Chain A
Amino acid sequence: MKYFEKYGKVIAMSAAALGMTAALTIESSLAYFTTYVSAGGSEVVSLGAQTTIHEEVSLMTKHITIRNTSQINDCFVRVKVFCPDGFTVEFTDVSGGDNWYEGEDGYWYYRPILPASTEDNASLTTVLDAKINVPEGFDRDDFNVVVIQECTPVVYDEDGNATADWSRVYSEYEDEQEDSGRLGEEADR
């Protein structure tokens, strides 16, 4: 009896603690019916179209073609011809169609998508002829006519039509890995 009088409170408290712990266990063991499923997918985004320009000159005419050397990405292309003051340039779409058209900004745009090249077949535009007219009285031995070409990725508008976004001004980006210090500018080239 003395033993119980002495330790009775401790035993009661221990029993209560044990009971509460057991009660907690009961609570957590209450289970609900649940289930789950999952799925995932991915796709690579390839952006880097690359184009090269090919020129042949004959009879004061540049025969211009552009090749898409990328084997992955399609693109749109355009060219612009710079010549000295007083010179004029006449453009002709050699294919006779309307593949090439002149924009308001002086660029000549190739209308179709220039598809990526395959291993067997290089992807080329039709020929655009640029005939240079030398002004009368021009007495120098040589002069420069510069042709630049640019490409931009194929993007789609809200209606799902393929389009070229030539107006995009790219944000500045410094390549950290190359540490070249070059900054991207306007860059639909």
Chain B
Amino acid sequence: MKKERRASEMNRENRGNQGCRRKGANGRKVTYLLFALAGVMLLGSTIGSTRAALTYYSENYTAQITVSQIGVSLLENGQVVSSRDYDKDEWKTESNRGKDSASGVLLQNMLPEDKNGKKEKLALNKKYEEKLSVRNSGSIDEYVRVRIYKYWTKKNESGQDVKVTTLSPALIDLNLINEGQWVKNPADVAETGDGSEKECMELYYKGILTSGSETAPFADTIRIDGEVASEVTVETKGDTITTVYKYDGVEFHVDVEVDAVQTHNAQDAIRSAWGVDAAGLGIL
């Protein structure tokens, strides 16, 4: 009985070894098959790229993409006084004061020169040309506003300029024109209903100022009102009576700021930049 059992166990082992040998052969077949497939795929990919290389292609073209570059310039009597443009990833500022100076000089040619190169004296009530406008010197369209500051100063005993608050800014008569295109801030108009004038005035350009174009001027002349010579004191010394003008030697100032903002999403952009309701102002 023992011998028979032993024989049957051996037969079983032999059958098992045969099965393992068959399974190993099948596994190798799959491996070879996959290897061949990988080889074919690799070859196929090479062929594909060869095909791509062989396809006809056109000449090279250079495409220039212009990114949004905003810029604005202030002009006085047709000459650029000051500009600030975004160009090639940096701000480019230029003014008649010099390169890299963000603030220009106004009124430097207001008084004409005589034959000897001496400047004419400032005359009261005389109108001098002062044509002020704005140019879009950037590559995108924009909305524009200007702020005009008018005030008086006088040198004190130590030679410093101090503001004269008893003289009205209205005596500096910067004649504003094209009021259909330049809208005054209604708040300024409401505050100065009595005929007086604020030190700062805001004007908004109605509509979009397209790239490269220039606005109609917002001012054309400047005049100092003769009223500035109305306050005097009289000094009597012997036979001579002398009038001393209260405001002799005062200096008038005109400062102009120009702000520009993008036209995309204009309502929000203007509110963010200038703090006003553009639609309410009627400038959109």
Contact = CB atoms under 8 A, between A and B. Distances in A.
Interface string A166-189: 001011011100101011110111
- Which label, helix, strand, loop or mixed, suits the secondary structure of the B interface? strand
Interface stretch (A6-14, A39-47, A91-99, A126-134): A39-47
Contact of B247 (A38, A47, A52, A165): A47
A42 B251 contact: yes
Nearest to A44: B251
Given A175-B233, A182-B234, A189-B243, A45 B224 contact: yes
A131 to B, nearest CB: 22
Contacts, number: 193
Interface string B129-162: 0000000001010100000010001000000000
A40 to B, nearest CB: 4
Chain A interface category by residue count: 35 or more
Interface in A21-40: 30, 32-40
A47 B232 CA distance: 10
Nearest to B270: A32
Contacts of B244: 48, 175
B246 A173 contact: yes
Chain B interface category by residue count: 35 or more
B229 A32 contact: no
B121 interface: yes
A32 B257 contact: no
17 contacts: A33-B269, A35-B84, A37-B95, A40-B106, A41-B106, A41-B255, A42-B251, A43-B122, A43-B252, A155-B123, A155-B125, A156-B127, A175-B244, A182-B233, A184-B232, A184-B234, A187-B232
Contacts of B258: 36-38
B95, B106, B123, B259, most chain A CB atoms within 10 A: B123
A154 B258 CA distance: 35
Interface of A: 30, 32-48, 50, 52, 72-74, 116, 153-157, 160, 162, 165, 168, 170-171, 173-175, 178, 180, 182-185, 187-189
Contacts of A180: 233
A45 B249 contact: yes
A37 B123 contact: no
Given A38-B258, A39-B104, A184-B232, A165 B74 contact: no
Contacts of A184: 231-234, 243
B122 A37 contact: no
B215 interface: no
A160 B126 contact: yes
Contacts of A35: 70-72, 84-86, 91, 138, 259-260
